[in-house]
Structure 1
Amino acid sequence: MPTVPDDSFECPDAYGPGSVWADRVSERSLVGCNQRGVEIPIGMGEGEISPGELLKIALIGCAGMSADIPLGRRLGEDFAMRLWAHGTADEEQDRYLRIDEEVQLDLSGLSAEEITRVVTVFERAVAAACTVERTIVPGVEVTHKISGNPQVEGNAAGQEQR
């Protein structure tokens, strides 16, 4: 796996830490790369991920990484978490008008007050540290839903927070 682009093109002057690139491999099909050797097939075909899906993965990945340590302090360092991003592009405007995030956590055994605190910790961590959300939110409404305890799914602690 490449850690630098091949010499098909000259590296731009701005190339450095944080740079990523995508090489065209066929019609409407690319391979996205980073300097750590990760390659992601981008496109609409089998085995490829669409740019919109990448956007949503970037959003939930950033939220999860931003909240990981603060949630670990509340739930224990080995807590399980799954993040989802739901939304389809508006075909007429060719853009996402809304992306709904859902975070699944095992909240069983926590009181309603503790669950409310977990939701607050998550929201504050994302607001403070999620570069991706802070970048796209001015143009896309992003919501978060914390779920995981069916006994409190209907109360305010499990509802959208924006």
Structure 2
Amino acid sequence: MSETTDQITDAAVTPSPTDPLWVERNGVRTYTGFSARGARVEIGPASAGAVFTPGELLKIALAACAGMSSDRAFARRLGDDYATTIRVEDPKDMTEDLYPTLTEKFEIDLSMLDDAERAKLLTIAQRAIDKACTVGRTLKAGPDIPPAEFSQPE
């Protein structure tokens, strides 16, 4: 596929900025998150079992965004079936109740590349992440988060 065809295909499946997302309460501090496309995720405290905490979702969103943003660069050089795991394991500052650092750590086999090829590919991948990872760009920009709005259900 050409670069232009790839971009058109991506645009056809990329959600609009207004695609509805919401959570519904299931019980004490447990929620299910939904998208208008039918995706769902279970959310709650770690003590609730097989759920993601909101902080874990933040980390997963960052890791997935970095992976998706760099995917073409790696696939072009390593092949469409390349494997990678991306971890974001930085600890939470319990006193401040926030993550002061979020580091994306790619586990990817680049042993078939010489040093120059490896350095070039990693530079291209990082540029792709810096340019296209909405989650990372948003976190770096420090978005405005206005107070929550409250309304009666219809």
Fold shared per TM-score above 0.5: yes
Q: Is 1:130 aligned to residue 146 of structure 2?
A: no
Runs of 5+ in structure 2 lacking a partner?
1-16, 143-154
Q: 1:160: which partner in 2?
A: none
Q: How far did residue 81 of structure 1 move? A: 1.2
Q: How far did residue 33 of structure 1 move? A: 0.7
The secondary structure found in structure 1 opposite 2:106 is: strand
Q: State the distance in 2 between where 1:99 and 1:86 align.
A: 7
Runs of 5+ in structure 1 lacking a partner?
1-15, 140-162
The structure where helix makes up a greater share of residues is 2
Q: 2:27: which partner in 1?
A: 26
The secondary structure found in structure 1 opposite 2:31 is: strand
The sequence identity of aligned pairs, in percent, is: 39
How far does the alpha carbon of each residue in 1:93-146 deviate from its partner, in whole angstroms, 9 at most, with x for none? 11110112110111112101111012101100001100000000245xxxxxxx
Q: Which moved more, 1:55-64 or 1:30-39?
A: 30-39
Contact residue 69 and residue 133 of structure 2 kept, 8 A: yes
Q: Tell me which of 61, 65, 82 is aligned to 2:64.
A: 61
Q: How far did residue 88 of structure 1 move? A: 2.2
The structure where strand makes up a greater share of residues is 1
How far does the alpha carbon of each residue in 1:22-48 deviate from its partner, in whole angstroms, 9 at most, with x for none? 001101100001112111110111011
Q: Which amino acid aligns with 1:24?
A: R
Q: Tell me which of 88, 93, 111 is aligned to 2:91.
A: 88
Q: How far did residue 49 of structure 1 move? A: 0.5
Q: State the distance in 2 between where 1:31 and 1:65 align.
A: 24
Q: How far did residue 77 of structure 1 move? A: 1.6
What TM-score do you get using the length of structure 2 for normalisation?
Answer: 0.76
Q: 1:49: which partner in 2?
A: 52
The secondary structure found in structure 2 opposite 1:86 is: coil
Q: 2:5: which partner in 1?
A: none
Q: Tell me which of 98, 101, 105 is aligned to 2:104.
A: 101
The secondary structure found in structure 2 opposite 1:23 is: strand
The secondary structure found in structure 2 opposite 1:31 is: strand
The secondary structure found in structure 2 opposite 1:98 is: coil
Q: State the distance in 2 between where 1:88 and 1:32 align.
A: 24
- Aligned-residue RMSD, C-alpha: 1.3
Q: 1:154: which partner in 2?
A: none
Query: Matches of residues 71-86 of structure 1 in structure 2 within 5 Å?
Result: 71-86=74-89
Q: How far did residue 17 of structure 1 move? A: 4.1
Q: How far did residue 74 of structure 1 move? A: 1.4
